[in-house]
Structure 1
Amino acid sequence: MAAEEIIGYDELDDTVVHLKLAIPASELHGSLCGFLAGGGRVGKQSLVEVLHLDNEVKPTGRDQALLERLVTQSEAELADPELGFEPLLPADDRPLPERAEALGDWCRGFLGGFGLAGAETHRKLSDEAQEILRDLGTIAASAFDFGDEGEDEDALIELHEFVRMGAMLLFAECAKRPAAQNDTLH
């Protein structure tokens, strides 16, 4: 990837607020990642148009540049052979309920974006990929109860890791399908 600085959650959140998007930053990133994982391509269209997002302000200038960088960054991270992909979520120093809700928002966005990418892909998914999608749906629909802070923190870390790895697996299976069929094993 270019030497451009990695886009963080707060930077994306500022753009989402400025554009008056109807979804939180974590859901926007999830939508983009789901769309890419499902084999979708953004191309020359605006990310806001591709994902069918409601917005009050048209992305121009710095906002448009940030969204274009986000697409490039997300594609590169999902395809990273070093498994460096990370969902964009609030920092670890944010309150646990906020981070848990953002993870649910990210999963909800991922499922919506994956669906936008095209239904023909989904009928051919492996059993493992179908199970990941079901589990992401469960996380997206969950209302989190909090009790023991240490246990809750550990549980959120496990969910985060599952989501991270699941997104990369789905990307590898769906977005790379034509290349994978042509590769030969050594």
Structure 2
Amino acid sequence: MSQNNPPLELPSCSEVEAEIHRLSLSSAASELHGALCGWLAGGGEDVRQWPARVLVDDSIAVPGEGSPLDRLRLASAAQLADRSFDFALLLPDADQSLAVRSGALFDWCRGFLGGFGLAAGAKPPLSEESTEALGDLAKLAAAQPQEDGNEEDEAALVEIEEFVRVATLLLHGDCVLAAQHRQRLN
């Protein structure tokens, strides 16, 4: 992103949930954002009809220009491509319970794995670090939310969110940025 363009903000979870409901999609906001980010990180096309591609359902309507799902795509693609590491996960606010927030994070990881697999295929060109990160994301995707917790659990969730954010950027770097760099060299 250039200095002249302000970073795009993600729409709120509630805006995305309302659009999901309007389009009758069978995904929660965090899971859908994870799927979009996995799709983009795996080399999937940055196109307005991304929900149909990511959810593998050609009957899904193309999000309108400026709609919450279109803004979600634009902001996510810009954040992934930005070298300042300002990539954000679409998750519930901190005032939600630990169970809600951890469940949404695990949903995000499940969505990411699906989108990434669709875009990157069976054998993406991953570094050893990215291969390990992808395995760790799979473990998180299989995790179950904890009903209650203490400050230690809250701190652990923050660390896991940061890991997921960095892992996503690492995978995007291997599958998209490295490929773009190779194309420029040829």
- TM-score, normalized by length of structure 1? 0.85
Aligned match of 2:134: 133
Change (3 A) 1:57 1:113: closer
Question: Superposed, which structure 2 residues align to 1:1-186 within 5 Å?
Answer: 1=5, 6-43=10-47, 46-52=49-55, 58-59=61-62, 61=64, 65-119=67-121, 122=124, 124-146=125-147, 148-181=149-182
Distance in 2, matches of 1:78 and 1:3, equals 11
TM-aligned CA distance change 1:100 to 1:138, over 3 Å: same
For residues 143 and 9 of structure 2, the distance between their equivalents in structure 1, rounded to whole angstroms, comes to 33
Verify the 8 A CA contact 1:129 1:169 in the aligned structure 2.
yes
Query: In 1, are the aligned partners of 2:31 and 2:104 still within 8 Å (CA)?
Result: yes
Taking a change above 3 Å as real, the CA distance of residues 73 and 121 of structure 1, as seen in their structure-2 partners, is farther
Offset of 1:182 from its aligned partner?
5.7
Of stretches 136-145 and 83-92 in structure 1, the one that deviates more from structure 2 is: 136-145
Residues 75-109 of structure 1 deviation map (CA, whole Å, 9 limit, x = unaligned)? 11112221110110001111110000000000000
Distance (whole Å) between structure 1 residues aligned to residue 139 and residue 9 of structure 2:
33
CA deviations 1:98-132 (Å, max 9, x no partner) are 0000000000000000001031651x211100111
SS of residue matched to 2:92: coil
Partner deviation per Cα, 1:15-65 (whole Å, 9 max, x = no partner): 11221211111000000000000011133x512211135698735547x73
Structure 1 runs not aligned, ≥5 long: none
CA–CA distance in structure 2, aligned partners of residues 41 and 80 of structure 1: 17
What's the TM-score once normalised by structure 2's chain length?
0.85
Task: State the identity %.
Answer: 40
State whether residues 21 and 53 of structure 1, in contact with CA within 8 Å, keep that contact through their aligned partners in structure 2. Answer: no
Separation (CA, whole Å) in 2 of partners of 1:3 and 1:148? 34
Count matched residues. Answer: 181
1:106 to 1:150, Cα distance in 2 relative to 1, 3 A: same
User: After the TM superposition, which segments of 4 or more aligned residues of structure 1 sit over 6 Å from their partners?
Assistant: none
Q: For residues 181 and 73 of structure 1, what CA distance do their matches in structure 2 show?
A: 25
Question: Aligned partners of 1:113 and 1:66: how far apart in 2?
Answer: 19
Distance in 1 of aligned mates of 2:147 and 2:59: 35
